[in-house]
Amino acid sequence: MLKVYNTLSGKKEIFKPIVEDKVGMYVCGNTVYDFCHIGHARAMISFDIISRFIRHLGYDLNYVRNITDVDDKIIKRAAENNETTQALTERMIAAQQEDELRLGNKMPDREPKATEFMQEIIDMIEVLIEKGFAYQGDSGDVYYRATAFEEYGKLNNRKLEEMLAGARIDVEQAKEHAADFVLWKQTKEGEVFWASPWGNGRPGWHIECSAMSTSCLGNHFDIHGGGPDLKFPHHENEIAQSEACTGEKYVNYWMHCGAVRVDNEKMSKSLGNFFTVREVLEKFNPEVIRYLMVSSQYRSSIDYSDQSLLEAKVALERLYTALRDQGVADVVTPSDYTKRFEEAMNDDFNTAGALSVLFELVRDLNKAKTDDSDKALVLAAELKFLAELLGLLYQDPEYFLQNSVITDGLDEAAIQALIDERTQARKDKNFARSDEIRDELASQGIDLLDSREGTSWSRR
């Protein structure tokens, strides 16, 4: 049975969907004012794998991940670029989708935009005001009355005053309490706005997700996910808004992936250790990045560095080398490897444990390649099938092994020309020239592998 760590309870729980065989999952997406960074990649890949395995278990999954396309940061960046907020967000959404596809992700079933749900947002705020959970301050902004929700703090298992002590809270004169947060804010001259009962304005960040998630999945759904920095205040506020508005339980299972650290420090622009996905893809094959993210269970933090990426590259090359020049059976025959892979994944999506099973399978496959070709075909098919659940081994083995790192060195045509020259030198028994070519390629990070079928190569 699938067990999921629930942030709300602080423990692993047996997963039981609200509706048998159906699962609704909402994940907080990005605020699209800039290119995706590797922290975004961690969340994207984590919940892509979670969605793949939930479907593998036979559930009919509805995976919704929102896009925040109106926000202070978006307005500021658009003004700096001298472009409209719509032009900026459309460009960044296209870039995000391109990055995701390169990283091997499957797209969510639905990606609602905040700007498409303005009426639902306004309707929810009106209900909160009517119930006494929200009010309009002297500034004209509408605030949520945090003290009115008795269970405020239950996601983080802390009382309101305790959370405020360590949090950065904007204290505004218009608020009744420091913990109150904005639901609708008045716009400044020249900013994008929508008409509302409280004047022209735009929604606060927290209310957007409450409106989009309940509109797409209903008032009560199974899973809500996001990054580690969203537990407070964002997800805490979502619970307060949603449950106060609907009178129902909001979400059964809260899931949060781990953070990405850079050389053992928190990733931060101010520290100069902030990397976009696009910057990393200039040096490494996208599947290397994915492997790094998969190599740790999704709740664990990941230390990102060039060294960790190189280690991921080497590990992934071991898997691809097993498939090089290896046929694959037409039908997948599950064995004990599949059973143990599923056991690992059923334990709160333990991808690290699942990967260890794949490497055991590879050892068996490499042995079968010389001892039993029929068994090798079957094991190769099982390896591909299980790896696909992690979004791995989707490239041609030869291509990956030759392109696991991006280099300004010899291109493929130049490498092949030298290999052809070496092959001819060996035929001519000119072994000195053959060795010279091997050494020349090795000095540029190109390793050769001679076999009965010929010579293949890979980048070191």
Q: Which fold has domain 306-402?
A: Four Helix Bundle (Hemerythrin (Met), subunit A) (1.20.120)
Q: Is the pLDDT of residue 458 over 80?
A: no
* pTM more than 0.85: yes
Q: Is the pLDDT of residue 460 over 90?
A: no
Domain 19-260: CATH class, spelled out: alpha beta
Chain CA centroid to CA 1, Å: 24
Structure-token match 């020239």, residue found: 433
Q: Concatenated DSSP letters for 233-286?
A: IIIHHHHHHHHHHHSS--EEEEEEPPPEEETTEE--TTTT---BHHHHHTTB-H
| Cα dihedral across residues 5, 298, 389, 45: positive or negative | positive
Query: pLDDT digit string (tens) for 157-212?
Result: 988 877 766 555 555 668 999 999 999 999 988 899 999 999 999 999 999 999 99
Summarize the annotated binding site for ATP as residue ranges.
269
Q: Is the pLDDT of residue 55 over 60?
A: yes
Residues 47, 257: contact at Cβ < 8 Å? yes
- Listed residue (69, 96, 100) closest to 85, CA to CA: 69
- Listed residue (434, 436, 440) closest to 455, CA to CA: 434
Give Dmax over CA atoms of the chain in angstroms.
Answer: 91
- How far apart CA 106 and CA 401 sit, in angstroms, is 23
Listed in order, the ranges of the chain carrying CATH 3.40.50.620 are 19-260
Peptide bond into 334 cis (omega under 30): no
Average pLDDT, the chain: 92
Q: What is the mean pLDDT of residues 234-256?
A: 98
Phi-psi region of 259 (alpha: psi -120 to 50; beta: other; left: phi over 0): beta
Listed in order, the ranges of the chain carrying CATH 1.20.120.640 are 306-402
The pLDDT, as a whole number, for residue 372 is 92
The pLDDT, as a whole number, for residue 159 is 85
Q: Is the pLDDT of residue 25 over 70?
A: yes
The pLDDT, as a whole number, for residue 440 is 78
Summarize the annotated binding site for Zn(2+) as residue ranges.
28, 209, 234, 238
DSSP state at residue 335: -
The residues with which 143 forms a beta bridge, in sequence order, are 135, 182
Contacts of 286 (CB under 8 A, 6+ apart): 102, 103, 104
Chain CA centroid to CA 436, Å: 45
Q: Is the pLDDT of residue 156 over 60?
A: yes
- How far apart CA 391 and CA 299 sit, in angstroms, is 18
- Listed residue (374, 291, 287, 288) closest to 326, CA to CA: 374
- How far apart CA 417 and CA 423 sit, in angstroms, is 10
Summarize the annotated binding site as residue ranges.
28, 209, 234, 238, 269
Query: pLDDT digit string (tens) for 254-297?
Result: 999 999 998 778 776 667 788 999 999 999 999 999 999 999 99
Residues 29, 68: contact at Cβ < 8 Å? yes
